[in-house]
A = this chain, B = another copy of it.
């Protein structure tokens, strides 16, 4: 990757490096228009494209934003990524994307890589682990102490970072209460992996709701936080309760993709939703709009959350907390 350099442009325009830089790459000082025009012409003729690496080194700021997601193909994350991408583009910065499963060393690798690339910001979109990972936390702290900004989505990770807080617990409780209000009173919970804070919070909200309404907790079963996890968890639930135990039950899944997987599992067992049992999800991923039966869920403004996270990072108060709460959306499935 060699290319036309600023000094070539400067020479062609017959000015100094300093002047060329001032004309082309924004500076306080604006050279006289006659000169500026000459430089611009030279740049255009030669096809000059500033070397962002060199600029980053000289200005000690890269204009890079790092985003860590669990899985970019998961609609939850791709929606958030879309929001982040949009916000990043608006302020003419670039998005560095990494995928990493919580609890896996890949998260640490991702953060280290972002630190190496001196991204101005790191946005952690995935849920935090229940057990704090020492090494990861230290890496993030060092990054922050060196002047990097950290914004987490979902829940706070540590002091001195920004957070787009999603009140998962309240949303889950609300969902359960609304459902109980329609007369449903036997609930099962299809939880994601129990080491995720998000999963834990939603489960806690579920139980808050149970307590509040006096409804019955029939079972809680854990599984991977994706479509297949929902499918598996649903089958495990069926096994646990026996064929008849599912009838009339309301099954809450930790998120929409799990709910979708669960419905498929139930269907494969010859059960119809909502005729034989009810299912609800969480997140309201865009995918849902064409799904039948339409899925009852807790709506989260995913794209907005992503946008907000990026905005927060660029704002004066990068360490503030923005609160988001979900809205229960009652549809056909429960």
Contacts and interface: CB of A to CB of B under 8 A. Distances in A.
Contact of A96 (B72, B96, B112): B96
A250 to B, nearest CB: 19
Q: How large is the interface on A (under 10, 10 to 19, 20 to 34, 35 or more residues)?
A: 35 or more
Given A72-B85, A99-B82, A61 B112 contact: no
A227 B291 CA distance: 12
Contact of A1 (B146, B267, B290, B291): B146
Interface in A49-104: 49-54, 56-57, 60-62, 71-73, 75, 78-79, 81-82, 85-86, 89, 94-99
A117 B52 contact: yes
A160 interface: no
Given A57-B57, A78-B72, A290 B118 contact: no
B94 A95 contact: no
A62 B53 contact: yes
Contacts of A2: 60, 146-147
A27 interface: no
A204 to B, nearest CB: 28
Contact of A289 (B98, B116, B264): B264
A132 to B, nearest CB: 18
Interface in A9-52: 47, 49-52
A152 to B, nearest CB: 19
A263 B290 contact: yes
A261 interface: yes
B3 A146 contact: yes
Given A81-B72, A147-B2, A99 B94 contact: no
B116 A49 contact: yes
A261 B286 contact: no
A89 B99 contact: yes
Contacts of A72: 72, 78, 81-82, 85
Contacts of A54: 57
B290 A261 contact: yes
A212 interface: no
B94 A62 contact: no
A1 B62 contact: yes
A32 to B, nearest CB: 26
A1 B118 contact: yes
A275 B118 CA distance: 57
A113 interface: yes
A260 interface: yes
14 contacts: A49-B112, A49-B116, A52-B116, A53-B53, A53-B57, A71-B82, A73-B82, A73-B303, A75-B75, A82-B99, A89-B106, A94-B113, A96-B97, A260-B290
Among all A-B residue pairs, the 3 with the closest Cβ atoms? A73-B82, A78-B78, A260-B290
Given A1-B147, A53-B118, 15 more contacts: A49-B112, A51-B118, A52-B116, A53-B56, A53-B117, A57-B57, A78-B81, A85-B97, A85-B98, A85-B99, A89-B106, A94-B113, A260-B290, A264-B289, A287-B287
